[in-house]
Amino acid sequence: MIGSKLLAVTGRHVISVSVETLMLRVGADNRWAYRHALTQPLHGESPDEAARRLAGVEAGDHDTVLHSTSWRHEPGGTIVLTYAVCPDPQPWRAAVEAPVLEIARGRAPANPSPERVDLANVVAHAVRHLAFLMAEDDVVSRALARHPRVAAALAPVAAPA
């Protein structure tokens, strides 16, 4: 750990780690919206702790799901760890309405990294990941079930195509 960035040295490469949070909510029109924030873990802070700090969520919160949903490599060597936070712990703050939920895809099975990843693609992946967890993870399912609008909005995402 050097300064305020979590760094990993792998051979001759130095990789910095950033943590982003997507605070997700469902509007009255049943459309997803999000707030986005980005930080680096502080000295001695884990990525989970950095995500909680960024989102304003306490470790003992049983009503909000904070879950790592993906990671990506960005030019310059930064690894970005994405955390979905649902429901948004500060719903009164301005949010961006998510467009159609479309994930980014790689060109081939053995070439999984898409040529381009937009924030909207990351949001789509996070929502789909939460839908998967709602169906497969009892802890996440119980927490999200306390928020009927969120649970209802995740149901069609989890449905088989």
What is the full DSSP assignment across 62-112?
A: SS-EEEEEEEEEETTTEEEEEEEEES-S-TTS--EEP-S------SBTTB-
- Is 40 within a domain? yes
Is residue 30, in this structure, part of any structural domain at all? Answer: yes
Is residue 1 in some structural domain?
no
Asked whether residue 106 is domain-assigned, the answer is yes
Q: Assign 30 a pLDDT band (cuts: 50, 70, 90).
A: confident
Q: Which residues sit opposite 143 in a β-bridge?
A: none
pLDDT at 146 over 70: yes
Number of domains in the chain: 1
Q: pLDDT by residue (tens digit) across 103-126?
A: 888 888 888 888 888 999 999 999
Q: What are the pLDDT digits (tens) for 39-67?
A: 999 999 999 999 999 999 999 999 999 99
| pLDDT value at residue 9 | 52
pLDDT of residue 51: 98
Q: Which domain holds residue 85?
A: 6-158
Preceding omega of 160 cis (within 30 degrees of 0): no
Assess if residue 12 is contained within a domain: yes
Position 97 in a domain: yes
Amino acid at position 131, single letter: A
Higher pLDDT, 74 or 25: 25
Is residue 45 in some structural domain? yes
Residue 136 within any structural domain of the chain: yes
pTM, to two decimals? 0.87
